[in-house]
Structure 1
Amino acid sequence: MSAYILGIDVGTTSVKAVLLETGSRSVAATHTTPTTSDITDSDVVKAKEQDTGRIVDALNRCVGLLPGDKLQRVSSIGLSGQMHGVLFWKALFGCDWSNGDFFTVRDTSQLITWQDGRCSSDFLSSLPKPDSHLSVATGFGCATIFWPEFLKDFTVAGTIQDYVVSMLCGLDGCVMTPQNAASWGFFNTSSNQWNIDILKGAGFPLHLLPQCVPSGGLAGQTCSDWHGIPAGTPVGAALGDFQCSVYSCMSARTDGVLNISTSAQLTFAMPPDFKPPKSPRPDSSISYFPYFEDSYLAVAASLNGGNVLATFVEMLAAWMKELDVELTDSCLYEKLIHCALNQETSDLRVSPTILGERHNPLCLGQVTNISTTNLSLGHLTRALCRGVLDNITSMMPAERLQQAGVSRIVASGSAIARNEVLRQEVEKAFLQPVVYGQNADSAVGVAMVLCDLR
């Protein structure tokens, strides 16, 4: 009888769960549930927070919709999720299993996400220099904890996926892999240790630092039955959604992986003997993320991806509403794509960095080369899609990909999947052939990791 691995990704906008059959490594069932968890009425300028309870409710509903007979044969559970963010909770009181299969949260903060922008450049420059090859940016867990408005009533901190692992296993504290720890800042990936002395000297609450365990290792076992999954089922320590998405589709070390969903990332694998530089370069557009088995990925991680296109649609919808014309966002999106498909090229130039970039937070968006002949929606949509690609390829130039021996680009992500214009611009942007069909999927990737390491 088949056994399955349950892979879960707690993303920025949705939760996805998959059941991977261990023998064939094929997906036997999958479901995705939107979290609708964004908190929009915050009084804090540039704050980006999400309702923890809504995220966990979405998780419960998502897993509960998978086939019950297969859930009963789950042999292990793996989790990935949105990196950099931080959630606070109280040990032993972070969840309540009194509702049976559906655990509920209590005594937790809201999730402060990777998109949080409250830590200004001046504030970040006031922090001590980390002993790490990775710099610290706003939205990173340690920077958020340093922020003066930090909530001091909690005893444990972690990413949202770390919190779910703690709930499932009934852990008193939090365990964290180097993939998530590196995304917080002040973590040395060579020694796999927090910068304890540096943080202590700066007055950081050290008791909030999670215990680190290897990427791919176990965090514990389920402390209760959950949707038919028996108590005592092994649970992997949570991994980064980016690393898991790459794992799901990088079939050869010569693959470059482009993912455009909410944000955008372009990456390739570094040689096995690569060691990152000892000091961070805050102005560098390329970072080195810890992967598996002490290896690294070279990553251009842009804050501007599908979210830019969504903002454009929302802006047009708001303008139309002011003119007493209403269209749904999905209908408007389809019409924009149709207009752009009829406009094969455009001399309009759109720099879409409306959210800045971590290596250059003050670089905002621009529209240039405007003329009377290129103001149509077709021109603007085409130029915006090309601008998203121009931005990510400026962060990781074609020469860098060639030097690394990248032989093809594996392109995936929700924005690419639904936008033919964006796919056309992807194929224009690279010298290497572009392949689709191997969709980067963090939920599948984390299940594959556990399957491969069984």
Structure 2
Amino acid sequence: MAKYVLGIDMGTTSIKVVLLDLSSKAVTDSFTLPTNADIINNEVHAKEQDTVQVIKTLNECIAFLPKDKLLNVSRIGVSGQMHGIVFWKSQTGCDWTDGDSGQLFRPKDTSQLITWQDGRCNSDFLATLPKPNSHLNVATGYGCSTIFWYMKNRPGFLSDFMVAGTIHDYVVSMLCGSESCVMTDQNAASWGYFNTGTNQWNIDILKEAGFPVHLLPGCVPSGCLAGQTCCEWHGIPANTPVGAALGDLQCSVYSCMTDRTDAVLNISTSAQLSYAMPLDFTLPNCPDPNSTISYFPYFNGSYLAVAASLNGGNVMANLVGMLSGWMNELGVELSDSSLYEKLIKCALAVDSSDLRAT
């Protein structure tokens, strides 16, 4: 009987799920839905998402996959937006209930998801933060920066929670029934105050600043298992191994980099140009504030060099929104996901000579 790997991507604007046949290594089924979960607070330039709506969309995506194949899922892998943060209570982070497609979980005692696009930590605020022991700068939208902001502006908020992680770390923790959170170095490096050379948080620096270090997840290497499903989920058997959540950037590069000399241009809610560094690459001693290149953990101790524009996908989203509005005015109903598919097909159909000429 065929066995499958379930892949989940907790994206900024949509959630994607796929089933991969273990024997043929081919994707047999996939489904995507927009989250429609944005909550914008212009007063503090916040960019948040409704965690309940995000997980509702995840459940809807899984429910669209063939039931007979979900019964034969033998592994679950999860990726998502790396810099964002969600808080929850250790023992009551979700409720498990019976749904039409089997058991599912719904968030409970969780915060909203503060996304990587959050702008509440302006340059003046960031300048007040302690200098990290890391080759990476700290920016607004990063998990640790957001916690520092709450320490200064809403300290009572943090006292309500005992665990924090990315949205995909949260999903993995709930699936495994974990009271704590484990995080790969891919996500930890994107939170700030994490030394990728030692694979440790800057605990001493953070403690001296009064940072609630109990909120920091435990760290594991990318590719490790986080645990097993604590119960049946949409028909997927209990005790199915679940991988620790990975960064969406690293996963998107891994899926199409056939050779280490390849460069990968990824356009989603942001845009990044990435390439793999040599295996003997040595990290810079400290971040260069003027550099347009950042180095993020990849797999097996290697690094990706990343140049991020942070606007490519927003441009695409605005284009899709404009086209959707025009189509509605003409009386034609077409979903955003269908428009994305058509735009991608058009791009793939362009002759390479036309691209060179452009």
| TM-score for both structures, normalised by structure 2 | 0.89
Map Cα deviations across residues 296-341 of structure 1 (whole Å, 9 max, x no partner): 01100121113124446768999x9xxxx9569999x9xxxxxxxx
CA distance in 2, matches of 1:17, 1:420: 23
CA distance in 2, matches of 1:310, 1:110: 22
CA distance in 2, matches of 1:423, 1:138: 38
Amino acid at match of 1:69: D
CA distance in 1, matches of 2:123, 2:143: 16
User: 2:145 aligns to what?
Assistant: 143
Confirm or deny that 1:300 pairs with 2:307: yes
User: 1:238 aligns to what?
Assistant: 245
CA distance in 2, matches of 1:421, 1:66: 27
Shift of 1:179: 0.2
Shift of 1:113: 0.1
Confirm or deny that 1:93 pairs with 2:20: no
Shift of 1:428: 4.2
Residue number among 221, 226, 230 corresponding to 1:214 in the alignment: 221
Residues 419 and 202 of structure 1: CA distance in aligned 2, closer, same or farther (over 3 Å): farther
Greater Cα offset, 55-64 or 417-426: 417-426
Map Cα deviations across residues 217-240 of structure 1 (whole Å, 9 max, x no partner): 000100010111111000000000
User: 1:442 aligns to what?
Assistant: none
User: 2:8 aligns to what?
Assistant: 8
Residues 107 and 260 of structure 1: CA distance in aligned 2, closer, same or farther (over 3 Å): same
CA distance in 2, matches of 1:184, 1:429: 41
User: 2:276 aligns to what?
Assistant: 269
User: 1:365 aligns to what?
Assistant: none
Unaligned runs of 5+ in 1: 334-412, 431-454
Unaligned runs of 5+ in 2: none
CA distance in 1, matches of 2:133, 2:89: 29
Secondary structure in 2 matching 1:102: strand
Secondary structure in 2 matching 1:124: helix
Residues 75 and 53 of structure 1: CA distance in aligned 2, closer, same or farther (over 3 Å): same
CA distance in 1, matches of 2:75, 2:258: 24
Stretches of 4+ aligned residues off by more than 6 angstroms: 315-318, 327-331, 413-416, 421-426
Shift of 1:417: 1.8
Map Cα deviations across residues 343-378 of structure 1 (whole Å, 9 max, x no partner): xxxxxxxxxxxxxxxxxxxxxxxxxxxxxxxxxxxx
User: 2:131 aligns to what?
Assistant: 129
CA RMSD of aligned residues (A): 2.8
Q: Is contact 1:11–1:82 with CA below 8 Å preserved after alignment?
A: yes
Q: Is contact 1:9–1:16 with CA below 8 Å preserved after alignment?
A: yes
CA distance in 2, matches of 1:327, 1:116: 35
Residue number among 237, 258, 265 corresponding to 2:265 in the alignment: 258
How many percent identity over aligned positions? 64
1:182-201 to 2 correspondences below 5 Å: 182-201=189-208
User: 1:23 aligns to what?
Assistant: 23
User: 1:175 aligns to what?
Assistant: 182
Q: Is contact 1:116–1:138 with CA below 8 Å preserved after alignment?
A: yes
Shift of 1:64: 1.3
Secondary structure in 2 matching 1:275: coil
**Structure having the higher Rg:** 1
User: 1:385 aligns to what?
Assistant: none
Q: Is contact 1:261–1:414 with CA below 8 Å preserved after alignment?
A: no
Residues 168 and 85 of structure 1: CA distance in aligned 2, closer, same or farther (over 3 Å): same
Confirm or deny that 1:71 pairs with 2:70: yes
Residues matched between the structures, number: 345
CA distance in 1, matches of 2:323, 2:236: 46
Amino acid at match of 1:90: K
CA distance in 2, matches of 1:423, 1:86: 39
Amino acid at match of 2:285: K
Q: Is contact 1:169–1:223 with CA below 8 Å preserved after alignment?
A: yes
CA distance in 1, matches of 2:52, 2:84: 16
Secondary structure in 2 matching 1:98: strand
Shift of 1:284: 1.0
CA distance in 2, matches of 1:327, 1:428: 35
CA distance in 2, matches of 1:330, 1:245: 30
CA distance in 2, matches of 1:61, 1:315: 26
Q: Is contact 1:260–1:414 with CA below 8 Å preserved after alignment?
A: no
Amino acid at match of 2:344: A
1:31-50 to 2 correspondences below 5 Å: 31-40=31-40, 42=41, 44-50=43-49
Residues 24 and 326 of structure 1: CA distance in aligned 2, closer, same or farther (over 3 Å): closer
Shift of 1:4: 0.7
Q: Name the structure with the higher strand share.
A: 2
CA distance in 2, matches of 1:128, 1:414: 45
CA distance in 2, matches of 1:98, 1:14: 24
Amino acid at match of 2:33: T
Amino acid at match of 1:139: G
Q: Is contact 1:162–1:237 with CA below 8 Å preserved after alignment?
A: yes
Q: Is contact 1:85–1:114 with CA below 8 Å preserved after alignment?
A: yes
Map Cα deviations across residues 43-66 of structure 1 (whole Å, 9 max, x no partner): 533110000001100111111111
Map Cα deviations across residues 148-184 of structure 1 (whole Å, 9 max, x no partner): 3452111110000000001000000110000000000
CA distance in 1, matches of 2:77, 2:2: 18
Residue number among 113, 116, 119 corresponding to 2:115 in the alignment: 113
